[in-house]
Amino acid sequence: MEITLVLGDITEQEVDAVVNAANSSLMGGGGVDGAIHRRGGPEILEECRRLRASRYGKGLPTGQAVATTAGRLPARWVIHTVGPVHSRSQDRSELLASCYRESLRVADSLGARSVAFPAISTGIYGWPMDDAARIALEAVRQAETSVPDVRFVLFDDRAHATFASLLSGGDL
């Protein structure tokens, strides 16, 4: 597997699957979720509604992942996953790692060859970037997956620099 870093907008990635930092309602929100639904159009939300009605009546649990169409995005699928809200009193890193593993498992089941991830939980869900980046890179490196091309799409220079330093073996 090759891991690459991109500075930019995840909705512009030409990949098989784009991962959405969703919430368990699957009904949209801000950040990456807002951008994906805005650019991808209403087809994505329609499929999310059907998933809520069929498999996820109580919502998609934190750490799990599910795929829908990518609508008008230049991708084939959106894989929605729910990151944990950061907590100072509880270690929720296993749930964050699970988002990456489960997204790659769904990508495998679809036959996706390229997957773009945002830095899950590092926006509205409040996770410190260095900690989240460490968990993300370790989870992806250790995942049992046949996806050959994994891309992290970072929204600003600081996030990109944090991932770059860790990817090249730095301690930060």
Catalytic residues: 33
Closest distance to ligand AR6 from the beta carbon of 42 (Å): 16
Binding site for ligand AR6 (CB under 6 A): 9-11, 21-23, 29-33, 35, 83, 118-125, 153, 155, 159
For ligand AR6, which is the closer residue by CB, 26 or 147? 26
Q: What is the rounded CA–CA span in Å between residue 21 and residue 26?
A: 10
**Measured from the CB of residue 84, what is the shortest distance to ligand AR6 in angstroms?**
9
Q: How far apart are CA 145 and CA 148, in angstroms?
A: 8
The minimum distance between CB 120 and ligand AR6, in angstroms, equals: 5
Residue number, 73 or 107, with CB nearest to ligand AR6: 73
Of 88, 97, 85, 98, the C-alpha closest to 24 is 85
When the beta carbons of 34 and 111 are compared against ligand AR6, the nearer one is: 34
Angle 10-51-146 from CA coordinates, rounded to 5°: 50
d(CA 157, CA 61): 31
